[in-house]
Structure 1
């Protein structure tokens, strides 16, 4: 006998017959019709080349071969029920797991404090690692399992093989130091163009604002170009530069520094921030828990 010829459903039928000693009762116990159970018993007899269960005045009695098979088959069926069929559970309270999220520095500041606060309470033995990488590398990290989620404006991940969930919409505003001598509560296009600007261009990411300004024919006078958003806070605080940044970052800078937020003198492009994961991990219990947490904490909250 070759194992590839064994239909596991037949083992379930065998275990039911060994316990019930009746085709009718065995069929009821596993949710089959009586004809289907009779057919299964017939296939079992062919498979093992033995009558297995013989009709007597006392009911269907097992042959010596069936008696010998009963305990091993029962163990196999119970192992499948207990260890293979149930979906793996994830208990954050007891789990010791390292989660990784692909996200730029701007999102680290926005997302991590609240996620870590929730970890401390609900998942005290879990750790979190953020990874900064291009979208191409992000796709590879998600598909390989090196990262559970990618969070941000990542349009290249909106493709087959990936799931996404919208978190919030983000627009752009300007930030200046609190006592900027030329910028008051309002900013005209003329003063915007005359000002010196700090511009952040993260490597390998979509520069949506630059594209929007180019379409409008707006060309800024750039004094300093940066690759990280969080470098802006000390630079803007200590200079008369203007930076045009996503609103969530502006709010953080205003909370933690001598920074004012000023609406830009043009209609801002709107960015939709999503979380992404690979379809391989759609049903993974730990992944489901983490993205549920992110959705709970940040949905609709720019």
Structure 2
């Protein structure tokens, strides 16, 4: 292989097949026929001495060799692309606005959105950030479909077509209106169970709090439910109800000056959060720089 000339178009086909895991979709995105993709795959198999992909009922499954090759090929194509017209690209990047779409749930948007935007304004003046609502369930598909460029999610993303960087972990806190309660003392378990609760969950039925209470044979009274953490600033104001939410979101709400937070009277499990991106994002210096700014903001 060392002495063979390599058609770089073959590497582009490999990259698209890894992204789509479907020959028909890869051909459509490349603007070539499926037969041409199949022919390129035959040449790639001969070049690397490996099947690279096996066919399954759900599409193509990359071999271990293909998984190892992917980041190397992505990096190589990124380096080559950056050398083609580096001078012109740098001038254009300075002049044009680059839009980067970040997928995240509104608890992360409340807690870190302003910090991310402020850091980008200081260091990436040509970037326009678009914050789009998503969650850990839909973020992998949104990234692969190129609906977003980066995703901030709780938990890890296991999709082999994506890269993930863990940035920290969070726990849970109680948020309440201290003007109604009359004190900011920590909640006892008795008071916690006696109060009405506002649930933040897509289902509107139960959440992590109910799981923790159930482990101790306990239940709470849910007065209302919402799908958005940001709605709590209106729902809890002048109310004797409380909400148990991720601590980073609780701090953001309390930063408005109206609310207070308290530790939970029972231990809650911590959960990890991080940022994810596509392998081909290495080609965009701006996306990678913004990824690093996100890491800085969330790690702080």
TM-score grouping bracket, smaller chain normalisation: 0.5 to 0.7
Paired residues of 1:198 and 1:243 also in contact (CA < 8 A): yes
Q: RMSD over aligned Cα, in angstroms? A: 3.0
Paired residues of 2:140 and 2:159 also in contact (CA < 8 A): no
Distance 2:6 2:259 in 1: 68
Q: Does 1:139 align with 2:136?
A: no
Paired residues of 1:100 and 1:130 also in contact (CA < 8 A): yes
Distance 1:229 1:243 in 2: 10
Please list the CA deviations of residues 74-99 of structure 1 after superposition, one character each: whole Å capped at 9, or x if unmatched: xxxxxxxx975728878675452111
Aligned to 2:211: 211
Paired residues of 2:97 and 2:126 also in contact (CA < 8 A): yes
Distance 2:282 2:216 in 1: 41
Distance 1:169 1:161 in 2: 24
Distance 2:215 2:201 in 1: 18
Taking a change above 3 Å as real, the CA distance of residues 140 and 236 of structure 1, as seen in their structure-2 partners, is same
Distance 2:168 2:265 in 1: 23
Paired residues of 2:195 and 2:241 also in contact (CA < 8 A): yes
Partner SS state of residue 176, structure 2:
strand
Q: TM-score, with normalisation over the residues of structure 1? A: 0.64
Taking a change above 3 Å as real, the CA distance of residues 287 and 210 of structure 1, as seen in their structure-2 partners, is farther
Please list the CA deviations of residues 142-192 of structure 1 after superposition, one character each: whole Å capped at 9, or x if unmatched: 11322111102144x233222111222111011111223376512111111
Please list the CA deviations of residues 60-113 of structure 1 after superposition, one character each: whole Å capped at 9, or x if unmatched: xxxxxxxxxxxxxxxxxxxxxx97572887867545211101111111122221
Which 10-residue stretch deviates more, 118-127 or 222-231?
Answer: 118-127
Which 10-residue stretch deviates more, 118-127 or 95-104?
Answer: 118-127
Partner SS state of residue 121, structure 1:
helix
Which structure 2 residue ranges, 5 or more long, are not aligned? 8-78
Distance 1:194 1:182 in 2: 16
1:218 positional shift? 2.9
Which 10-residue stretch deviates more, 169-178 or 92-101?
Answer: 92-101
Please list the CA deviations of residues 222-277 of structure 1 after superposition, one character each: whole Å capped at 9, or x if unmatched: 01111110111122221000111111111111110321111111002212111111
1:114-263 to 2 correspondences below 5 Å: 114-155=115-156, 157-181=157-181, 184-202=184-202, 207-263=207-263
Partner SS state of residue 86, structure 1:
helix
Please list the CA deviations of residues 2-32 of structure 1 after superposition, one character each: whole Å capped at 9, or x if unmatched: xxxx9489xxxxxxxxxxxxxxxxxxxxxxx
Aligned length: 221
Paired residues of 1:94 and 1:123 also in contact (CA < 8 A): no
Distance 2:277 2:259 in 1: 35
Aligned to 1:268: 268
Which 10-residue stretch deviates more, 117-126 or 87-96?
Answer: 87-96
Paired residues of 2:82 and 2:283 also in contact (CA < 8 A): no
Paired residues of 1:153 and 1:273 also in contact (CA < 8 A): yes
Distance 1:281 1:110 in 2: 25
Distance 2:82 2:126 in 1: 27
Taking a change above 3 Å as real, the CA distance of residues 158 and 208 of structure 1, as seen in their structure-2 partners, is farther
Aligned to 2:107: 106
Aligned to 1:291: 291
Q: TM-score, with normalisation over the residues of structure 2? A: 0.65
Partner SS state of residue 179, structure 1:
helix
Aligned to 1:86: 83
Taking a change above 3 Å as real, the CA distance of residues 282 and 218 of structure 1, as seen in their structure-2 partners, is farther
Which structure 1 residue ranges, 5 or more long, are not aligned? 1-5, 10-81
Distance 2:292 2:82 in 1: 24
Larger radius of gyration: 1
